[in-house]
Chains A and B, each alone.
Chain A
Amino acid sequence: MGRPISVKALKGSRTFTANTLLALILGLPILAGVAGVVLPAFGYLPALGRSEFTFNHFAELFAQPHILRSSLTGLLAGLVTTGAAVAVVGTFLAGFAGTPAFSRIQHVVSPLLAVPHASAAFALAFLVAPSGFLVRLVSPELTGFGRPPQWLVPNDPLALSMLAGLITKEVPFLFLIALAALPQLPLRQSRQLTAALGYGRLIGFLVSLWPALYRQIRLAVFAVLVYSVSVVDVAIILGPQLPATLPVRIAQWTADHDLGARFLASAAALLQLGVVLAAVAIWLLIERLGRFVLRKLTYSGRRLRNDAVPRLVSAFAMAGCAALIFLGISILGVWSVAGLWPFPRALPAELTLQTWLRTLPPLWPVLRTTTALALLSAALALFCAILLLHRNGAAERRGNVPRYRLLYLPLLLPEISFVFGLQILIISAGLKPAFWSVLAVHFLFVLPYVLLSLSAPWREVDPRFERIAAGFGKSALRTLLTVRLPLLFRACLTAYAVGFSVSVSLYLPTLLIGGGRLTTIATEAVALSSGGDRRVIGVYALVQASLPFLAFLIASLGPQLLFRNRRAMRT
């Protein structure tokens, strides 16, 4: 029985190498990045001529005004966002999965994923501001306002507008992750079984399917938690100021001209890591509580048939996210061509292309950098993803599906903590901010999404196609190039568009590694938020939001054009 054993060993080692490769690509920079903040936090940064171990920087950090409040705001915002997103998505799936309404809302919500966080945040800000569209719509008739009210919105101290911005973006993300996991659940049978036992739709789903579904989306839930605890761009646009959340303050310190502020920023980045860990610990407790409640509910045998209200609320919340963002983006468009637009008027008094003509010349170089970064990082990531999936193919064929848990690594650590560390390392190495270093850090964040997007379609290809090709004597590489990749053409384009969108929306990594010399539409748009020229912001946010849409449009047209005469390739 020597042969089968040796085959097993060989295939085992193949997966090992592929996963090791992934670990190296993703793990090394992250470890290096974390080391890059830990050492300076304790005073060790030879590049700035300091090498003695000290706690002074933490003392300095805790002496900063309102530091506790800054930390807690982010922590709570992250927990509330995650809780709300899980609740909305869970309730909606439980109430509607498998119904026609479900697929309708699915089509409305899916494109939201492509909207960059910053554009979505601006869209929301333009709606809810005191002089924003919603107030204008009801003024002065209902409110009596002849001039904008003195509300602190957005940037309210309770972080409610920031919460709204985060939730509208995280709901579609979690929803699409859950959608990918849904086909693996026995949805119809469970529905019929629980309905026959007299259970309401919600409770029936919760009892029979939710635990399995949650297990599948759990890593994504933690990614949402970590992201929303540590978010910078949305927090700058919508979040509280004076004090701002901790990640925003860290970003300000890293940009300080006084290089000594980097020690303070490092200590704060380490504190942020602690805040994230605390959030994760609290979420683990919430999970336990949820399990306990669900078990109680299950064993009580309560049928809870009157669940229309929560079901409808979840459907409205889902549709509401889409409505808010799309309405907001339209308003961005209106502002970009608005001439005179005095307050209570719902629409501008005059339209003009003046803002576009004025903004486009300086926007061009930024747009060039942005697209070059996005095109290249997505291409590199797609190439890498294909390589990894191809290498892991052997393991998948034996039903031992690699879980790619490592993939989530860059998404499970606060960006500000390890990317700032990378920045310090790059500066310490005497390197100047350059295109290739920003490209490398973009690749780090783009790869997980590209791989996640491609891995499900990759597994769905009928393995018999490749066996037939092998029978014709084609090598593995030839089979990959002439059979598998053409079959996956559409999926590859979609994955590429996903990668492109992620790169276009990356704010913090671009800001930190680009060091202000390399600006993209994301860094420029967020930088404008303090200036407050709504017309210019409208142009930038609209351009940023349209880039991913263009990418997805091209991705969906590609197969139509290339496989004009191949019916099976177009659907």
Chain B
Amino acid sequence: MLEIPETRPLTLSDVTIRLAERTLLAVSATVMPGEVLTIMGPSGSGKSALLAFAGGFLDPAFDASGRLLIGKEDLTNVAANRRHAGILFQDPLLFPHLSVGGNILFAVPPSVRGRETRHALAERALAEVGLAGFFDRDPETLSGGQKARVALQRVLVSAPHFLLLDEPFSKLDTALRQQMRELVFSRARAAGLPAILVTHDSADAEAAGGAVIEIGGEAKP
């Protein structure tokens, strides 16, 4: 795996998100490296909007105020492609036009130079999750669990500064879900990454083991 670049806490400072004058949520929290902050709420509560705010792709229909900091660096007005946010969605969303290895290579930062080095890094990332030899496979031929693991490794090799997890386990079946939770959280911890997890499943929150903020209903303007 890549050497861990820097581990800094992620801070949501007085983040308020409104939709058409209605306040959806107001959050202030600091997530330490290796910790997971869980945001729980029903659908429509604006929890995905919070992730979009953190990722830099909030729909302009929302009004957001407050600041997002990584360490002391203010990311609030930084473009999405300069934030180093690693995102996992409900679906693995492997690029269908690339091979499994191509998906990983796409994510390896350009600072890792040399075809050989990059290739080796991608092979190692696949081997780490039991997918050695899958480099040239068509992502479409993988099982759901295999795809989820590739998606996780793809995010991790991109050397993100923090993780945004948008209900990444909700579409997996029960057995697989438990496995993936352990894998994702242990690897995030090992990499020393602060993570924000949004979910409506309290089992996710328990497995994450960090602070939990429940939103929806009680947040009033």
Contact = CB atoms under 8 A, between A and B. Distances in A.
A475 B85 CA distance: 14
A471 B55 contact: yes
Interface in B60-86: 60-65, 76-77, 79-86
Contact of A398 (B61, B80, B139): B61
Interface string B41-56: 0000000000000011
A464 B93 contact: yes
Main secondary structure, interface of A, reads: helix
Given A569-B96, A569-B97, A398 B59 contact: yes
Contact of A566 (B55, B91, B138, B164): B138
B97 A487 contact: yes
A398 B58 CA distance: 9
Interface string B115-159: 000000000000000000000001111000000000000010010
Interface string A432-444: 0000000000000
A302 interface: no
A563 interface: yes
A467 interface: yes
Interface string A460-479: 00111101111111111001
B107 interface: yes
Given A567-B138, A569-B97, A4 B59 contact: no
B76 A467 contact: no
B87 interface: yes
B107 A472 contact: yes
A7 interface: yes
A67 B179 CA distance: 82
A398 B84 CA distance: 23
A464 B60 contact: no
Interface string A1-12: 101100110010
Given A4-B60, A473-B158, A464 B89 contact: yes
B160 interface: yes
Given A7-B60, A569-B97, A476 B140 contact: no
A465 B91 CA distance: 10
Given A4-B64, A465-B93, A487-B97, A397 B81 contact: no
Given A11-B60, A471-B86, A473-B109, 13 more contacts: A4-B60, A464-B89, A468-B87, A470-B80, A471-B155, A471-B158, A472-B106, A472-B107, A473-B158, A482-B106, A486-B95, A567-B138, A568-B139
14 contacts: A1-B65, A3-B76, A4-B60, A8-B60, A397-B59, A399-B61, A464-B93, A471-B84, A471-B85, A472-B81, A487-B97, A565-B99, A566-B96, A566-B138
